[in-house]
């Protein structure tokens, strides 16, 4: 099937990338490397780099986190282009995409509880049930038995069988909010994103998002999944687990560490340079081929 290759680039589609943090806490090393790599990809393609706040999961959000993220990005001289966007502002577009899939018979209401489904792939129980809109339900999109393959410059060629790996997946949640995959593809398309740079913890999201792009007839961005920064115990650094935030005084050190972590080789004199100079060096020397071809990679120990 031809659903896999990204939309062909041409002179009229300049590079557009984005950083899409969830506002669950301030930026830590793990999210800094994602922001930095995405920013450098965009700058080296003379493209644009956008900031989108993925605020469609209210219980996980932390007041002030969106502002804290912007503060750290500015501190690190990771300057985004255009106005910041917020996913909650496009809820109606997410809803319209969900309805389009339902009207086409490609998505359906599901009343199964997570407990009932357990760890196995969703067996399609509600496919033909025609549940009414009134009751408590989620909406699932149908997947087929076709394999979905993607070429990732860091992770290599990846192939999935969505039917066996999870089955029909949720695009609208019981809480009456869009699920991440649906919101992400709708907003990526609206912003004209041509390449998505993010952590390999989201690698398995790529075939689901590609599937939705195909069904919704949206342009297909390329994907680049970075290794996930892990602590000494092999655990992903996360805002929830309180990985240290990047402070004013630690920005330069964190940037140099992030460049090293991404396989770049900043000269040691940069250690004492201001963030602007570090970013200038990084734009001129960025080589994505040097990124470690790993699913996870240990984060350095940062002082302070
Ligand atoms: N908002 C998601 C997160 O912070 C990332 C979404 C994406 O890059 O597709 O994990
Ligand atoms: Zn069901």
Please identify, in words, the CATH class of the domain defined by 2-298. Answer: alpha beta
* Nearest ligand to residue 199 Cα: 1
Pocket lining: 199 vs ligand 1, CB cutoff 6 Å? no
* Nearest ligand to residue 187 Cα: 1
Pocket lining: 54 vs ligand 1, CB cutoff 6 Å? yes
Tell me what pLDDT residue 32 has. 96
- Closest to 212 in 3D by CA, of 239, 180, 236: 180
How far is 51 from 191, CA to CA, in rounded Å?
Answer: 10
83 burial (CB, 10 Å; 0-12 / 13-18 / 19+) is: exposed
Angle between helices 180-190 and 91-103 (to 10 degrees): 110
CA of 53 to the centre of ligand 1 (A): 9
Pocket lining: 69 vs ligand 1, CB cutoff 6 Å? no
Q: What kind and span of H or E run contains 283?
A: helix 275-285
Tell me what pLDDT residue 2 has. 40
CA of 38 to the centre of ligand 2 (A): 37
In tens, the pLDDT along 17-28 reads 999 999 998 899
Confidence of residue 238 (pLDDT cuts 50, 70, 90): confident
Average pLDDT, the chain: 93
CA of 272 to the centre of ligand 1 (A): 32
Longest dimension (CA), the chain: 66
How far is 135 from 96, CA to CA, in rounded Å?
Answer: 20
* Nearest ligand to residue 60 Cα: 1
* Residue ranges per structural domain of the chain: 2-298
For 31, residues 6+ apart whose C-beta sits below 8 A from its C-beta are 21, 69, 239
Residue pair 172/27 in contact by the 8 Å Cβ criterion: no
% residues pLDDT > 90 (the chain):
83
Mean of the pLDDT values across residues 172-196? 98
């Amino acid at each position: 099937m031809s659903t896999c290759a990204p939309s062909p680039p041409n002179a009229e589609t300049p590079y557009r990338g984005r950083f899409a943090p969830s506002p669950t806490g301030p930026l830590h090393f793990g999210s800094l490397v994602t922001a930095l790599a995405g920013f450098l990809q965009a700058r080296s393609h003379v493209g644009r780099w956008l900031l989108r706040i993925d605020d469609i999961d209210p219980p996980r959000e932390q007041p002030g986190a969106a502002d804290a993220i912007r503060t750290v990005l500015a501190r690190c001289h990771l300057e985004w282009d255009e106005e910041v966007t917020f996913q909650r502002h496009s809820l109606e577009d997410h809803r319209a995409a969900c309805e389009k899939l339902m009207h086409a018979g490609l998505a359906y209401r599901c009343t199964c509880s997570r407990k009932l489904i357990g760890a196995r792939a969703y067996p399609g129980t509600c496919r033909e049930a025609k549940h009414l809109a009134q009751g408590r339900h989620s909406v699932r999109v149908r997947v087929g038995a076709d394999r979905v393959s993607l070429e990732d410059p860091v992770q290599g060629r990846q192939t999935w069988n969505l039917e066996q790996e999870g089955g029909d997946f949720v695009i609208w949640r019981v809480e009456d909010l869009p699920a991440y995959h649906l919101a992400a593809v709708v907003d990526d398309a609206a912003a004209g994103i041509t390449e998505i740079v993010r952590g390999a913890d989201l690698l398995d999201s790529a075939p689901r998002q590609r599937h939705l792009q195909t069904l919704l007839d949206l342009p297909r961005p390329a994907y680049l999944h970075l290794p996930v920064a892990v602590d000494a115990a092999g655990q992903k650094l996360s805002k929830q687990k309180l990985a240290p935030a990047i402070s004013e005084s630690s920005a330069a050190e964190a940037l140099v560490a992030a460049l090293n972590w991404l396989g770049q080789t900043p000269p040691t004199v940069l250690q004492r340079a201001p963030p602007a100079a570090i970013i200038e060096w990084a734009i001129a020397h960025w080589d994505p081929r040097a990124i470690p071809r790993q699913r996870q990679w240990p984060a350095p120990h940062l002082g302070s």
